[in-house]
Structure formats: C-alpha cells, structure tokens
Structure 1
Amino acid sequence: MSDATPKVANPFVVSIVVSLAVFLEVLDTSVANVSLSHIAGALGASSDESTWVLTSYLVSNVIVLPLSGWLTALMGRKNFFILCIIGFTLASFLCGMSTSMPMLIVFRLLQGLAGGGLQPSQQAIIKDSFPPEKLGMAFAITGITTILAPILGPMLGGYITDNYSWRWIFLINVPVGISAAFLVNILVQDPPTAQKQKVDSVDYIGLGLIALGLGALQIVLDKGQQEDWFDSSFIVVFACIAAVGILLAIFWLQRQKNPVVDLKLFRIPSFTMPCVMLFFVGFALYASNILLPMLAQENFGYDATLSGMVLSPGGVAVICMMPVVGRLVKVVQAKYLISFGMLISAFGAWTTGFITPQIDYNTFVILRILQTIGLPFLFVPVNTLAFSKIPPESSSNASAIVSLIGNLGGSIGISLVTNKLITSQHVQQAYLVQHLTIADSGYRSVLANYTQTIMNLGVPSAQSSSLAMGQIYQELLRQASILAFRDTYNFVAVVLVVLGITALFMPGNTLHKKDAAVSLH
C-alpha cells in the first residue's frame, strides 16, 4: 500500500517526471530537421544521405510503438520505462559523438528503438496516477508533451545549430535523461496490472510482420516525395512490402491467444472512433508544424531560429488551453469539444491562406496561434474518450496503439501536404506564366519599369532587359510558392471541416465525474 502512495498523493509530480523524458523523445522527431545541412556538411555527406538521419529514427520508432504494451508485460512497466530512458540517453550521446554519416544513422536507429516505448508508457503511467474523475486533466498533461515538443523542436534545433553545434541537439538529452531515470526510479510505482507478467512464448512471427509492415510504410511516407512516389521502383517495392506485412500482421494477431498487439481493443466503440479522430489530430498537428516554417524560410528569408520562434507563441497558447479543456471534458460531451477543435483548427488554416508577400512577423504569430488554439480541444477529449472504457490491465496496450495511430497520422499528414504543396506550385507557376506575354499590359509595364531601373545603374539596354525578365521570373516563382501554400492550407482546412462535422455523429459520451468513474469500474 505504501508503494502506491507517491503516485496517488503526487500525481502531478509523477506526471512532470515521466513527461520529461518523453518531451525529449518527441522533440527529437523534429529537432534535427533544421540541422540536416549542417550535419551533412560536417560529416561530408550529401543532402540525400542526411535525410536518413530522420528516416532511420522514425522507422525504428514506429516499429517499437505498437510493441511497447507487450514489452511492458514482459518486463514490468516501470522497468521498461527506465530501460527506454537509459537506452535513449546513451544513444543520444553516441549520436552526438558520431564521426561519420553511417555511424550517426545507426545510432539514430538505436535512439528511435529506445525512444519508441517512452510515449505509450508515459500515457499509461499518467492515466493510472490520476483517479478516474480526473482523466481529462491527466491527458491535458500528456497533451502538453505531445503537442508542445513538435512545436518547439524546429526553434530549439535551429537555435542550437546556429549558435553552437549540431552535436548539442543530441548531447543536451544526456543530463536530462539521467535525471529523468533517477527520478522515475524513486517516484513511480507499478500497480499490480502493470507489473511483470509471465510470458509463455514469444510471438516472433507477429513481431517480424509488425516490424516489416510498419517499417516499410514509414520509409514510403518519409521518402515518397523525394523519390517521386510511385514513379520510383524503390517506393513501389516498399509500398508492396508494407501492404503485405500489415495485412498479414492483422490476420496473424487476431488468431493469437497472447498477441504482441491486442487488436481486440478495437471492438470497444468508445476506443475505435477516437482512434480514427486521433489519426487526424496527428495529421493537423504535424502538417501545420511543417508548413509555416517552410513558408517563412523559403519565401520571407527567415533563418531556422526566427522561423522556429514564429511557432513558439502557438505553444504558449496550447499550454494555457490544456488545463481549461481538461476541466471542460467533465461537463461537455467529448464529441462537441472534438468538433469545435476541428473547426477552430480549420479556421486557423483557412485564414493562413490569405497570406501576402507583405506579411510581417507579428501576423505570422497571430496566424500560428489561430492554427494551434484548437488542438487542446482535439487531443484531450479524444484521448479521454478513448481510454474511458479501457480496463486497467489493458492501459499499456491501449497507450501503444494510441501513440502509433497519432504518429502515423502525423507521418501521412506530412506526406500529403508536402505532395499537395509541390503539385500546387507547378500549377500556380503554369497559371502565372500565361500572363508573361507582351500582349499583357501589366507585364509590359513591369518589364519597362524594371528595365529602366537597371539601366539607371549603368547597365546596357539589351542586358538590362534580360536582367529585368530574370527578376520578374524570380518574383513569379515566389508568388507561385505563396499561392501554393494558400492552396495547401485550404486543403487542410477542408479536411478539418469534414472531420469537425463527422465528429458530431460520434456516440454521445459525456465524461462527467460520475460517468468516468462508472466506465472504469
């Protein structure tokens, strides 16, 4: 009884401690993005080779996520969590010490393997640390970690890389990881349902199929745009491997007595529908995180640090709203909060579509706040609803599935919006080029003005005309890019509006104090 006291008496302290390591792990999914050019230059690698620094981490991470529930049963949740922290910390140190690109990719692979179990374990620990009637507040805390880390990642990575060395984006994890492991060992205690259980046999076939299917899928999502999708035999092969691996894994797992991933949880309607919504929460979060820094850097000359700072106020808005939504889930039906969150996020994406070449930093910040202010209304009620009828003994399995679905939603979201952005750029360029003819009075006027301005600098007339046309073309490319971002944000807005309407048809489930308590007992 005394072992459980720290958890029950100090759930917020436990939550902060277990969230510390998870914050670093989620941060590392995005912190290296802005540092790839520096890493490639330092290690003498090409840009294509450097992208495997991201891919290797994501592939190993997504493989471990669904297995963390089974690994928890094998080792005990606390032991597994501490092992993941230690492994992640050690791998981070090795990444920072790498002297070649192959070495860094291998250590990033190990970092992803160790880090993959952190997020599901954190959610399960926090869920079991709070009484049922405070489930919403519990997931408000996990939401701060899950949503804030990807927002701050690009800014932190850019600042460290610009002012120190890319190695410190990995080495900074070491002291924090050591502290987190020490504190978790002192404060966290496993309830009976999360302690080490006897495992009769290891389902190697299930393990292999999951690793094969999800690993191949992540490679397709991460490398698809770079390899021109299905015009590439590389992508076609891995897409086939992913499809076969995932289908066989589903078929196999459903027929096992003790599967490594418990798919029977999807028979619970209050778990299945929120999981579908959670997929699109990941889509909205990661899609918005990648678009705005790209827009600021490519078209407005922001460096990595400044473009990251554009995201920061949105993170502050998320922190402020999380506790509010954590309380609202006890008095408002989850489906209404989810619908409201989807529509607010859609409004934020839609308003960003009105950007112009004259936009300033303050406007960027306001747009970012509008994009993120709805995320707490999505994350907290979706997770609260998903876990509302999950028995304690299934918490770790449910957390693993939930984390996997959110991450896959993010990966697919990034792939979709990136593809949409590039396609729209080509379309907008073709449209604008149609107006670059002598028959167009606007083009003639701009060309004459540019030519005269250049001639006033002492450049000969013929050369001035060529330089003027070059400047006009560069401006065309910039405007086509900005219009493409508008189209992409509108695409995201339409998806979110459809989901916001769909959420209204979810089963009614008011997560009041009494209802939550009944559902978990």
Structure 2
Amino acid sequence: MVQGQGQDDLVEYGFRRVIITITAVLCALLEIVDTTIVNVALTNMRGSLGATLTDVAWVITAYAIANVIVIPMTSWLSQQFGRRNYFAVSIIIFTVASFLCGNATNIWELVAFRFIQGLGGGALLVTAQTIITESYPIAKRGMAQAIYGMGVIVGPTLGPPLGGYLVDHFSWPYIFYINIPLGIIATLLTLSFVRSPKYGEKLKANQVDWIGIVLLASFIGSLQFVLEHGQQDDWFNNKLIVLLSAISVFGLILFIWRQLTYKHPIVNLSVLKDGNLRIGTLMAFILGFGLYGSTLIIPIYTQSVLGWTATDAGLLLIPGSITTAFMMPIIGKLIQKGVPQGYMIALGFLIFFLFTLMMRNNMTPDTGVEHLYWSLILRGIGLGLLFVPITTLSLSTLSGKNIGEGAAFTGMMRQLGGSFGIAIITTFITRFNQEHRVNLVAHLDGSTYEVQQRLLLLQKGFMSKGFTSNEALNKAYQAIDYSVMKQSTVLSYMDIFMYLGIMFLCCIPVVFLIKKGKNKINPADAMH
C-alpha cells in the first residue's frame, strides 16, 4: 500500500479501498433504508402493538429526532473518540438497538429503541461520507461521491419494497432483524480496515459543551412532542403542550446564545452569516417536508384505502426513485458546466407542484396503479432537480471547513423538515377527516329516494348471504358508514396534496434572492 503525505495520509489503494468503500456505503444504506422501511409496516405495527396512528408515527419521528440531534455533533464526536472507534461504536449501537426494536412488546418500548437506533444511525451517514472521501486521492473524489450519492438516493427506495416483502412473508420485527448480520459484518470490516486521521488536541471533559448538548436535545425533543401530540391533546388547552412549547422556544434561544458565546461550541452557527446558506437551509427544510410527507401518505393511502399489500405499496415507489438516481449524475454535470442552480430549483419546485396536482386529481377510493405511476415519476424528476442543486447552492459561497459545517446544516434541516412534515400532516389528516365526515353525513338524508334505494340494495345483498332482515339492515348501515369514512379519508389526503403543492409554488420566488457564487462547486462537497 502506497501512501502520500499530509492530507493524503488516509488515501487507500487497490483491495483495501474497495473494502472501505463497500463498508461505508453499506453503513450509509443501513441508516437510510431504516428511515423508510417502517413506513409500510405501520399498519401491521398498529395492529400487533394496539397503537393509534399518532402513536405509531412516533416510530418514524423518534428515529428522526435522534438523527437530527446527532448529525450536527458528528464531526465533533469523531475528534473526541477517533473516527474509527466512533464509527464502529455507532454501528454496534445501531445493530443492538435493531435487535431490541424487533423484540419490543409495546409501542413505547419500540419508540425508545428506535430513538437509540437513530443515535447510532445519524453518525453513520456523515461519517461514512467522510471516510469514503478521504480514502480516494483528490482527483478521484468526484467518483467516490457519485458511488456514495447513488447509495443515498437508492436507499429510501429500497426501504418500502423490502419492508413490504418482509411484512407480507414474515412479520414486522424482521424489518429490524435484517440489520443484525449486516451490522456485524460492517463492524468487523470497520475495525479491520478503516483508519482514523490524526486530530489535534481533544477537549477535556470540562471543556465539552454539555449545556449546549442538553439545550439542543430539549429544544428539538419538546418541539417534536408538541407537533405530534398537539392535535389529540387539544393544543394549547393542554398544560403539558404549553409547558413543552415554552421549553422549545427558550431552549432554542438559549442554544443559539450558548453556541455564539462559548469557546468550544458543538455547532458552529457563525457559518449561517452566509446568505446562500440561509436560503439553502430554508429550501432543504421545505424539501424534507415534501419528501418525507409524501412518502408517509402514499403507503397509508394505498394500503388502508385501496387495500393493497405492503409489498405492492412499496414497489409503487421504485420507478420514481430510479428516475431520481438516474438524474443525479446528469444534474451534477449541468452544475459543473455552470447552469445556475436557481433555475433548476425553480423548475424542481414547479414539477413537485405538478406532482401534487396530479395526485390530488387522481385520488379516489379505487384508483388504479396506472393513475399513480406517472405522478410518482414526476415526483422523482422534481426530487432530482431539487436535491443536489439545493445542497450545492447552499455551499456555493462557502470555503474551507465551513463547507462541511454548512453541509451538516442542510442535512439537519432536511431531517427537521421531514419531522415537521410528518407531524403536521398527521394532525391535518385527522382534522380534515372530521370536517369531511361531518359534511358528508349532513348530505346523507335517510328519507331521500337515493339513500333508501342504496340501503335496500345492500340489505337484499346481505340477506342473500343468509342474514336475517334486521341483521342485513345493520350491515347495510355499516357498509354506508364505511364508504363515508373512506370518502372522507380520500378527501383529506386530497386537501393535504393541495396545500403541499401551494407551499412548493410559493417557494419559487425565493430563488431570486440567490447571490451568484462560484457556480462550479465540486458536487463532492455537496452530497451530505
């Protein structure tokens, strides 16, 4: 093995580099697949753990909160413990938590283990990227990032179909058990092949910004709880919601003050003085909102309303994600040629708006796969036009180590946007559902000829199956009630897509605030 000097100390060649690349991509995939694999299993988890839709959404949210808390602290933690050790310990935490998730006996145990799994997982993504980058010589780093980037894009797509297959053929705990053999292999490979860079001095325990860590965790955790439980706990009429809202607001203010004044901050906020980074983090937030929000609705709609299997619900998302993966290298090339990212982002938001419009128009209680297929391809094109341009734009006027810190911000805001999206969308689905149900029932006048005829037909149908006249009438009422419920659910999903679309449309003018940066930024720096 040949080695360069200085910053090339970690460059690997031949077999070692192949193994390190495989290890890092495997770990990034583990983390990303686990973000989406649970989406298709939510219905089964609700059944076997006796949980509500709001409770079960916490399985996704707890993981996301833990990710968001860890991502900004990752480079700092690597320096404290040495990168190889930190990476290996993260994989072990992730793997052990996966085993515990599969063995959870109630919903809150599962949520607690998912949180721990997220603490391990958040580290895998950012550290895997750094390890890949440093294992390649500078001339080949673009290629290294392309390999990593494809993994990052394909990951969310593998989740739902893989989850669906495991749920349909085994049971939901297997979506967690599948991580165990992969985690063990990744740990052994990491300990054998990955090396740590030589860092400067470590902070002593009394220099560590423990207060900052506590403030970051309390601000994000409280905010998330308020978003998740506000709807069912009647928002600000509930004392706990009021208390946690206050903790969240003061936690944020104190956290910002602490990071700006402390000598060794865990998150460098001064990097946000850059205008393009501020616009980029806002757009990353919106992107996360739309990306995770629509990924939440589509499997629930196809399973609970259309009655699809979990596997079919997962497979539906594949063509769109392949489209995104296909577009990534093309868009990377366009950015390198100097096509302004602003134009691509504006086009991406417009295409995402058209996707929400198509979804809204095609949603019925019995929509066929052919009506959803093209709108999801459109979503794939929109995501391709948003993902890399938003990240490269955010970093286009930064330099040096600020690029890494800026990338951590966009990654964190994308995750936070996803958490907000899931929380707000579950809240509004409940609200819209109640409204539509009330309106539909108001129009169902039992004395009208149409309703009478429908009841009579249903009653006759049930009587032909051997029910008595009274039983058949009860069944007929239940059937009408069920179809009202289905209609009101579909109408509430249509509303959600309409508002998502309006939100994306409103983002287009923000593009005009972008300053001209050094447009040919290396996409390698942008793939966080």
Q: TM-score, normalised by structure 2?
A: 0.84
Shift of residue 443 of structure 1?
4.0
Q: 1:218-257 alignment to 2 at 5 Å?
A: 218-257=224-263
The answer to whether 1:32 aligns with 2:38 is yes
Q: 1:453-492 alignment to 2 at 5 Å?
A: 453=461, 467-492=475-500
Shift of residue 441 of structure 1?
5.8
Amino acid at match of 2:443: H
Matched pairs, number: 515
Q: Name the CA shift for 1:80/1:434 in 2 (closer, same or farther; >3 Å).
A: same
Q: Which moved more, 1:182-191 or 1:214-223?
A: 182-191
Q: Name the CA shift for 1:141/1:493 in 2 (closer, same or farther; >3 Å).
A: farther
The answer to whether 1:402 aligns with 2:414 is no
Shift of residue 486 of structure 1?
1.2
Q: Which moved more, 1:427-436 or 1:100-109?
A: 100-109
Q: 1:2-151 alignment to 2 at 5 Å?
A: 2=4, 3-6=9-12, 17-35=23-41, 53-96=59-102, 104-125=110-131, 143-151=149-157
- Indicate the residue corresponding to 2:296 in structure 1: 290
The answer to whether 1:351 aligns with 2:358 is yes
Q: Name the CA shift for 1:229/1:117 in 2 (closer, same or farther; >3 Å).
A: farther
The answer to whether 1:335 aligns with 2:339 is no
Shift of residue 453 of structure 1?
4.8
For the 8 Å contact 1:284–1:492, the answer to whether it is kept is: yes
Match of 1:433 among 429, 432, 441: 441
Match of 2:220 among 211, 214, 218: 214
How many angstroms apart in 1 are the aligned matches of 2:127 and 2:395? 14
How many angstroms apart in 1 are the aligned matches of 2:261 and 2:304? 50
Q: Name the CA shift for 1:312/1:336 in 2 (closer, same or farther; >3 Å).
A: same
Match of 2:424 among 394, 416, 435: 416
The answer to whether 1:363 aligns with 2:371 is yes
Q: Name the CA shift for 1:445/1:102 in 2 (closer, same or farther; >3 Å).
A: closer
- Indicate the residue corresponding to 2:401 in structure 1: 393
For the 8 Å contact 2:223–2:245, the answer to whether it is kept is: yes
Shift of residue 37 of structure 1?
6.3
For the 8 Å contact 2:306–2:366, the answer to whether it is kept is: no
Shift of residue 272 of structure 1?
1.8
How many angstroms apart in 2 are the aligned matches of 1:346 and 1:8? 46
Q: Which moved more, 1:395-404 or 1:409-418?
A: 395-404
For the 8 Å contact 2:83–2:195, the answer to whether it is kept is: no
CA displacement 1:353-412 (0-9 Å, x = unmatched): 112334212323333222222112111111122233444434543343222111100010
Shift of residue 23 of structure 1?
1.9
Q: Name the CA shift for 1:53/1:517 in 2 (closer, same or farther; >3 Å).
A: closer
Percent of aligned positions that are identical: 33
Q: TM-score, normalised by structure 1?
A: 0.85
For the 8 Å contact 1:86–1:181, the answer to whether it is kept is: yes
Q: Which moved more, 1:218-227 or 1:334-343?
A: 218-227
Q: SS state of the match for residue 160, structure 1?
A: helix
- Indicate the residue corresponding to 2:203 in structure 1: 199
How many angstroms apart in 1 are the aligned matches of 2:223 and 2:358? 33
Q: Which moved more, 1:54-63 or 1:155-164?
A: 54-63
Q: Name the CA shift for 1:183/1:455 in 2 (closer, same or farther; >3 Å).
A: closer
Q: SS state of the match for residue 116, structure 1?
A: helix
Q: Name the CA shift for 1:38/1:431 in 2 (closer, same or farther; >3 Å).
A: closer
Shift of residue 305 of structure 1?
2.1
How many angstroms apart in 2 are the aligned matches of 1:170 and 1:284? 26
How many angstroms apart in 2 are the aligned matches of 1:321 and 1:457? 54
Q: Name the CA shift for 1:518/1:403 in 2 (closer, same or farther; >3 Å).
A: closer
Shift of residue 63 of structure 1?
2.1
Shift of residue 8 of structure 1?
12
How many angstroms apart in 1 are the aligned matches of 2:422 and 2:69? 19
For the 8 Å contact 1:334–1:510, the answer to whether it is kept is: no
Q: Name the CA shift for 1:291/1:131 in 2 (closer, same or farther; >3 Å).
A: farther
Amino acid at match of 2:490: I
Amino acid at match of 1:152: L
Amino acid at match of 2:203: V
How many angstroms apart in 2 are the aligned matches of 1:248 and 1:454? 64
Shift of residue 314 of structure 1?
1.9
Shift of residue 60 of structure 1?
3.0
Shift of residue 147 of structure 1?
4.5
How many angstroms apart in 2 are the aligned matches of 1:391 and 1:260? 20
CA displacement 1:82-131 (0-9 Å, x = unmatched): 33223322332344455676765554333222222222323445566778
Q: Which moved more, 1:86-95 or 1:251-260?
A: 86-95
